[in-house]
């Protein structure tokens, strides 16, 4: 039964989210918390792990949740399920893309999808941020977390710092500040 649930949940995640891993976060969180595979606090940890390991965030999260829920078989089922809709879509779309890529209708459709993807990424950021703050035990930890988030945004988005160096620095600061 767990394999069917894993396949269904992660196939749905792969099928109904556009725009990559960050846009999938809201639906991933909803599904894994609904089935009780992870708590909201554990979900935040998984995002950090999935972000730091090679590969797409949705596949990494699916692999971890599947493994934790049902071992290696669960990891294979969840990972396969999350990529299967994309594989099917790419096969279908690639056949028609050359013929219709300059179509006004297709261009309008993509124009409508872009702001939706931005909204999904924003919703995921708010959910992850609120889950992170709920996990912290004190107001001082919450304040430090908000400052670290703001500094990270500033350094990466506005100053174009290397995100890997910022992540490593944040991990070091986390060891020092939250010990």
35 compared with 120, residue with greater pLDDT: 35
Count of beta carbons in the 10 Å neighbourhood of residue 42:
17
Characterize 104-136 residue by residue with b for buried, 16 or more Cβ atoms within 10 angstroms of its Cβ, and e for exposed.
Answer: eeeeeeeeeeeeeeeebbebbeebbeebbbebe
Show Cβ contacts of residue 56 under 8 Å, excluding neighbours closer than 6 positions. 20, 21
* 169-179 tens-digit pLDDT: 988 888 888 77
- The DSSP 8-state label assigned to residue 83 in this structure reads H
Given a cut of 90, whether residue 18 has pLDDT beyond it is no
* 120-149 tens-digit pLDDT: 778 878 877 787 777 666 777 788 888 888
Q: For residues 78 and 62, is the Cβ–Cβ distance under 8 A?
A: yes
Q: For residues 21 and 58, is the Cβ–Cβ distance under 8 A?
A: yes
Name the strand (E) or helix (H) holding 127: helix 104-135
* 39-87 tens-digit pLDDT: 888 888 888 888 778 888 888 889 999 999 999 999 999 999 999 998 9
Give the global pTM. 0.60
């Amino acid at each position: 039964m767990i394999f069917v649930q894993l396949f269904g949940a992660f196939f749905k995640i792969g099928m109904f989210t556009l725009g990559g891993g960050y846009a999938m976060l809201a639906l991933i969180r909803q599904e894994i918390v609904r089935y009780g595979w992870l708590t909201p606090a554990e979900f935040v940890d998984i995002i950090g792990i999935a972000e730091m390991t090679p590969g797409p965030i949705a596949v990494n999260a699916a692999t971890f949740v599947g493994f934790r829920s049902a071992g290696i078989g669960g990891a294979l089922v969840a990972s396969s399920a999350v990529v299967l809709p994309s594989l099917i879509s790419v096969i279908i779309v690639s056949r028609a893309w050359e013929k219709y890529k300059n179509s006004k209708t297709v261009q309008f459709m993509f124009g409508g999808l872009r702001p939706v993807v931005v909204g999904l990424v924003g919703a995921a950021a708010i959910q992850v941020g609120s889950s992170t703050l709920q996990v912290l035990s004190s107001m001082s930890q919450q304040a430090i977390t908000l400052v670290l988030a703001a500094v990270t945004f500033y350094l990466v988005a506005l100053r174009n710092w290397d995100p890997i160096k910022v992540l490593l620095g944040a991990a070091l600061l986390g060891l020092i500040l939250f010990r």
